[in-house]
């Protein structure tokens, strides 16, 4: 995001038809009803150039507002139940684990990388991470990416 960009919450019926139809195309593509952009734009009655002009500029309210995914790198002790405790902690705080990648434990420590959707997180990301570090068996927790 650039510093000069501005965002507005605007009611659908005041948007130009080309922007509303761009959203229709995006919905059709996301739903799997159409496999190609050409098929979807033909269905709603706009050109591909109109779609490309607006596709990265408009999003449904819930997507633009609530999507926040972090990637966390963890060092966990190699003991039964540690990863399970971490996953339960994330769930209890309102996070949703999207992906889990775990290395083979070396010298009693396993590296685990979690992608976590924080849309429903019940606290700040900073406080979440501070508490995550205190889960029994977690040696280190670092945010390595955000989107």
Percent of the chain at pLDDT above 70? 92
**pLDDT recorded at residue 147:** 77
Q: Compute the mean pLDDT over every residue in the chain, rounded to the nearest whole number.
A: 89
- The total of other beta-carbon atoms located within 10 Å of residue 116's CB is 24
What element of type H or E holds 29?
A: helix 17-31
Task: Give me the average pLDDT of each 10-residue run along the chain (147 residues).
Answer: 65 92 91 91 96 86 64 96 97 94 96 92 87 96 88
pLDDT tens for each residue of 44-84: 999 999 999 998 888 776 544 456 889 999 999 999 999 99
CA distance 87 to 89: 5
- Structure token pair of residue 81: 């139940």
> Among candidates 64, 62, 76, 67, which has minimal Cα distance to 115?
67
**pLDDT recorded at residue 86:** 98
- Structure token pair of residue 126: 């900073």
């Amino acid at each position: 995001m650039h510093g000069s960009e501005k965002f507005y919450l605007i009611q659908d019926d005041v948007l130009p038809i080309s922007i509303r139809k761009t959203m229709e195309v995006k919905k059709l593509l996301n739903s799997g009803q159409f496999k190609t952009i050409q098929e979807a734009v033909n269905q709603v009655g706009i050109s591909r150039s109109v779609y490309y002009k607006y596709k990265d500029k408009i999003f449904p309210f819930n997507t633009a507002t609530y999507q926040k995914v972090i990637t966390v790198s963890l060092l966990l002790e190699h003991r039964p139940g540690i990863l399970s405790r971490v996953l339960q902690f994330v769930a209890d705080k309102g996070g949703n684990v999207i992906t889990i990648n775990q290395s083979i434990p070396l010298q009693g420590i396993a590296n685990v990388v979690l992608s976590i959707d924080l849309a429903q997180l019940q606290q700040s990301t900073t406080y979440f991470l501070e508490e995550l570090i205190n889960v029994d068996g977690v040696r280190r927790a670092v945010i390595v990416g955000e989107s």
